[in-house]
Amino acid sequence: MADKTITCKDCGEDFVFTEGEQQFYAEKGFENEPIRCKKCRDARKAQRNNRRSDDQGGFNSPRIKKY
């Protein structure tokens, strides 16, 4: 295995999918390579966390799926 350069789907920047990360993915059984750089993945993760805390804070809101 060797490091791979992938173009991020979100920001269009090239990022390196390192040998170690590829191994990690293989160990986890992920079949797909990452399509976003770490920055964008972190941003998306943060977004998801925000949404989750929104849901918990909605003491008054009806149960509506906001997707």
Nearer to Zn ion, 1 or 11 (CB): 11
Residue 36 · residue 45 · CB < 8 Å: no
Q: Is 10 in the site for Zn ion (CB under 5 A)?
A: yes
Residue 9 CA: distances (Å) to CA of 34, 35, 64, 65: 9, 6, 30, 26
Nearer to Zn ion, 47 or 61 (CB): 47
What's the closest the beta carbon of residue 20 comes to Zn ion, in angstroms?
Answer: 19
Q: Which of residues 28-47 bind Zn ion (CB under 5 A)?
A: 37, 40
DSSP annotation of 55: H
